[in-house]
Amino acid sequence: MPTLPTLEDVRAAYSRIRGSVHRTPVLTCASLDLLCGARLFLKAENLQRAGSFKIRGALNAVLLLDEGSASRGVATHSSGNHAQGLSLAAAIRGVPAHIVMPKDAPAVKRAAVEGYGGRVTECEPTPEARARALRETVARTGATFVPPYDDPRVIAGQGTAVLELFEDSGGLDAVIGPVGGGGLLSGTAVACRGLAPGLRVFGAEPELAGDAAASLRTGTLQPAMPPKTVADGLRMPLSELTFSILRREAEGIILVSDEEIVRAMRLLWERAKLVVEPSGAVPLAAVLKESRRFAGLKVGLILSGGNADLDKIPWARDII
């Protein structure tokens, strides 16, 4: 098991990456507050470079590579946002990025990866196919694997969003982040516990990809569920590393339906004027569902990404 990241690691990551990433705004929306019965502080990582929080962890990991390793490039597997983040991080350092993507990854995300200079290899949309294609890519290129979430360097980088959220909000009672593989939520939990030990940290997860909730409930790491949820960025299972962090640091995981995710996404577009992808809307779906739990509290929501496929808006019956 790798060494677990600490608040000091998160702060060091922030010093390392802050000149190359956006300090995204923390926004409020009175109409959403009214709907939820809480004061919401929206950390708009949908406005981050490459369209999501992923650049934070990817860049931290890339900048920590020695010159020899970096010169051979980096590689990963990703359905989109980590692929974009790593491709941009590699471009910032001036090294190659080799990206394994499932065939069903949103077209907008693949186009962005290639736009940042990432070299895409397609695979079937299963964890086994991703792992096999990645092994072949690393063997062929000598690139260093930068995992989407199963890495302390990546987790520490993802936690930097909370440093900004906490400072800009003036303090919070609770933070809710989406959970797929658990890198963002793990970094969030580590940062929150270090900044304010009494701060409540929750994950928000699609019911159709509820392995994280099942893992925490049973105390045993559960495998990935079939990739059916509209929140395509949250289809990966926890790793041993992220599971160990979340078992210790997260208060719980709130499950939401795909219908609730789409409603929250539409509310963010309509009320807050924020283009957020389904995965990024999951925290709002959670606080809407559990409004009694969060009534009257100051709640930070991490809107993880904005790389929505505009050709497949989930509430549109007819696409023009």
Which string of DSSP letters, residue by residue, matches 77-90?
E-SSHHHHHHHHHH
Domain ranges in the chain? 7-53+152-312, 55-145
The neighbour count for residue 226, using CB atoms within 10 Å, is 10
Q: Mind telling me the catalytic residues?
A: 54, 304
Longest Cα–Cα distance of the chain, Å, equals 55
Confidence (pTM):
0.93
Given a contact cutoff of 8 angstroms between Cβ atoms, the answer to whether 132 and 100 are in contact is: no
Q: What is the mean pLDDT of the chain?
A: 94
Tokens 């063997």 -> residue: 139
Q: How far apart are CA 109 and CA 50, in angstroms?
A: 10
Q: What Rg, from alpha-carbon coordinates, does the chain have? A: 18
What is the structure's pLDDT at 320? 40
Classify 113 as helix, strand or coil. helix
Return the exposure string of 155-169: e unless at least 16 CB atoms fall within 10 Å of the residue's CB, then b.
bbbbbbbbbbbbeeb
Q: Per residue of the chain (320 residues), what is the pLDDT tens digit?
A: 568 899 999 999 999 999 999 999 999 999 999 999 999 999 999 999 999 999 999 999 999 999 999 999 999 998 789 999 999 999 999 999 999 998 887 777 788 999 999 999 999 988 789 899 999 999 999 999 999 999 999 999 999 999 999 999 999 999 999 999 999 999 999 999 999 989 999 999 999 999 999 999 999 999 988 878 999 889 889 999 999 999 999 999 999 999 999 999 999 999 999 999 999 999 999 999 999 999 999 999 999 999 888 888 888 765 44
Q: How far apart are CA 120 and CA 83, in angstroms?
A: 9
* Terminal-to-terminal C-alpha distance of the chain: 50
Q: How far apart are CA 231 and CA 224, in angstroms?
A: 14
User: Can you list the alpha helix ranges (DSSP code H) found in the chain?
Assistant: 7-17, 30-36, 54-63, 67-71, 81-93, 107-115, 127-141, 152-158, 160-169, 183-195, 211-218, 240-249, 258-270, 278-289, 291-294
Which class is domain 55-145?
alpha beta
Of 81, 7, 18, 92, give the one whose Cα is nearest residue 303: 81
Given a contact cutoff of 8 angstroms between Cβ atoms, the answer to whether 48 and 22 are in contact is: yes
CB neighbour class for 14 (10 Å; exposed up to 12, middle 13-18, buried from 19)? buried
What is the structure's pLDDT at 2? 65
CATH T-level assignment (fold) for domain 7-53+152-312: Rossmann fold (3.40.50)
